[in-house]
């Protein structure tokens, strides 16, 4: 009977210490996945649009713990341009920033002429 009381007291005391100490409760923390992205405007032979590049990260509150090894997503918002291929990599720069670098190939469609114009866009940007 005495050991059960001691266990209950120890558990309650531990909960009290953790609840009253902000640094200890912060250490227990909130780990979660997040998607970070950035929009980059481009101009390709008279065609303008926005590239949205992003990646998934694992965070502790607002700090980045690591970059997830998944493909980096690229979306293109342009009337006459199509996304062709990408060769991008993401690496953690500091606790709050990821650097995405590489190249993206896009194709501009000229419907009235039946021609295509390919453009290589070099990316080196910090995403927060």
pLDDT of residue 77: 85
In angstroms, the CA 72 to CA 83 distance is 14
- Domain spans in the chain, listed from the N-terminal domain onward: 29-127
Confidence band for 56, pLDDT divided at 50, 70 and 90: very high
Neighbouring CB atoms inside 10 A of 67's CB total 20
**Hey, what are 82's tokens?**
């199509």
What confidence tens digit (pLDDT) does each residue in 16-32 have? 666 666 555 455 668 88
CA proximity to 125, closest of 76, 87, 91:
91
SS3 110: strand
Inform me whether the pLDDT recorded for 94 exceeds 80: yes
Among the ranges 43-47, 51-55, 78-82, which has the highest mean pLDDT value? 51-55
In angstroms, the CA 88 to CA 97 distance is 16
pLDDT of residue 111: 64
pLDDT of residue 122: 93
DSSP 8-state code for residue 112: T
pLDDT of residue 117: 83
37-46, 53-62, 94-103: range with lowest mean pLDDT: 37-46
In this prediction, what percent of the chain has a pLDDT beyond 70? 87
* Under 8 Å between Cβ of 128 and 97: yes
Among the ranges 65-74, 81-90, 96-105, which has the highest mean pLDDT value? 96-105
């Amino acid at each position: 009977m005495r050991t059960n009381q001691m266990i209950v007291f120890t558990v309650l005391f531990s909960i009290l210490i953790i609840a009253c100490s902000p640094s200890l409760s912060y250490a227990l923390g909130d780990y979660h996945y997040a998607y970070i992205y950035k929009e980059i405007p481009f101009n390709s032979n008279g065609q303008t649009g926005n590239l949205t590049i992003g990646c998934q990260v694992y965070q502790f509150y607002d700090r980045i713990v690591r970059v997830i090894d998944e493909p980096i997503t690229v979306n293109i918002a342009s009337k006459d341009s199509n996304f062709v291929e990408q060769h991008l990599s993401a690496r953690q720069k500091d606790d709050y920033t990821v650097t995405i670098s590489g190249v993206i190939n896009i194709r501009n469609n000229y419907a009235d002429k039946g021609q295509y114009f390919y453009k290589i866009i070099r990316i080196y940007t910090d995403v927060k």
